[in-house]
Amino acid sequence: MPVPGESVPPPSVPLSFLAAAGLGLSLFGLAVWFAADRIVTSPAHPGALAAVHVGMLAFLTTAVLGAAHQFTPVVARRPLRSVTVARVTFVGMVATAWLLPSGFAHGPESLVAAGGVTGAVTVLLAAWNLSGPLSVRGRGVPLAGLRLSVTYLVATVAFGVVYAFDRQAAWFPLLPHRVLAHAHVGLLGWLGLTYVAVAEKLWPMFLLAHRPRAREGAWAVGLVGAGVPLLAAGLLFAAPAVAWPGGLAVGAGLVCHLVSLVQVVRHRRRPLELLHGFLFASAAFLVVAVAFGAAAALLPVDTPTRTRLVTAEVAALAAWLGLAVIGHAHKIVPFIAYKALRARGVTTGRSGRPLLFADLLHRPTARLTLAVAAAGYLLAVAGAAAASRDVLAVGGATVAAAGVLVTANLAIGPRRAVRAGGAATSS
């Protein structure tokens, strides 16, 4: 993929976001561990909300925003409007990711309002900054999907600000279906649609796949993008006649997304590798999430059972996106670090031979990360579905361990390359 040098932001921009997201993943796992009893008994409890927001903000949104600041200028071949604003966005995102959960967990209430305002300003800055490259036309499905997903990001934060101030004013009843509307706009409209769109560029690139057509990916972006507002509106106003068409469209779009993955794998010109282990595990959790969502909508069950099914659906969607983010980070971070190291004059690896991507990653640790992350998310989904505090707590602790593994692995590799390059230069 062409990478014009003037379009790409400095490596410190995306790497800052991704490093913070690695910390967020570990702390998300710990938060789920500590709040497991609240999550299974009362998903709307402040402790449960705090844990969920650590995962959604400190891990997923931080990581996806960082990737968007790198990916969008590359695909559009047009730079961000301002690198300085990108750095301010990073600071604002980190502040939001910790103000809101802290306010939910132990107060004071003003922290929640402060987090909502900070998040709103941060997202508006990000949307303005990304609007430069996103305004380019004719770059295909990925940019079209990103334009929609950034719109849903703004909508998600608008929901969040309303909720943040409503906790004090109580002028907007926080009924369960309204909270679900907020969750699904964020998970499917912002995070999910971003991944579905970006995957249409990354999957063929990483596998050197040349499909005869890419209709499935275009349908995936179109159906998810069109279905989310209907689904959210139906949930928001408790209108099944609106929610059902939206849910069916989103479900069909996610099926198209999975079919697109199968097509890319079938037409690949490179062997499968570690990334695709993450992708296959991620896709399995997406199937589970769709199954739980369908069960919650169709089965004649009581309210506690329906709540468990929806909680499991949300957990499975988080697992789908989380494993995809971790897997792609094992490709993206070495790619960015490699270019940065070469620019600094580091041309040899630890072996004394020319620097390779493999020198920036410890593959046994990466394989262990896949096993640990998949196991952790599996336990978390199972614990949520069975309302088992202990299973959910173990799943959270395991996810936290995966966060430590991936962050350490991706941070240590480039540092070793710098030391090896320095030693080779000295000799």
* pLDDT at res. 426: 43
Query: Residue 315 in contact with residue 384, Cβ under 8 Å?
Result: yes
Q: What are phi and psi of 268, to 5 degrees?
A: -75, 155
* pLDDT at res. 214: 79
* pLDDT at res. 174: 58
Among 215, 297, 197, 200, which Cα is nearest to 248's? Answer: 297
List, for the chain, all residue ranges whose pLDDT scores fall below the cut of 50.
1-5, 423-427
3-state secondary structure of 238: coil
> CB atoms < 10 A from the CB of 342, how many?
12
* pLDDT at res. 118: 95
* pLDDT at res. 354: 79
Q: Which residues of 33-66 are buried (b: 16+ CB within 10 A; e: fewer)?
A: bbbbebbbeebeebbbbbbbbbbbbbbbbbbbbb
* pLDDT at res. 137: 85
* pLDDT at res. 6: 62
* pLDDT at res. 345: 78
Q: How many CA atoms lie within 13 A of 298 on its CB side?
A: 8
* pLDDT at res. 13: 94
* pLDDT at res. 360: 83
Beta strand residue intervals within 67-211, DSSP E: none
* Residues in CB range of 279: below 8 A, 6 or more apart: 203, 261, 323, 324, 327
Instruction: Report DSSP state, residue 359.
Output: G
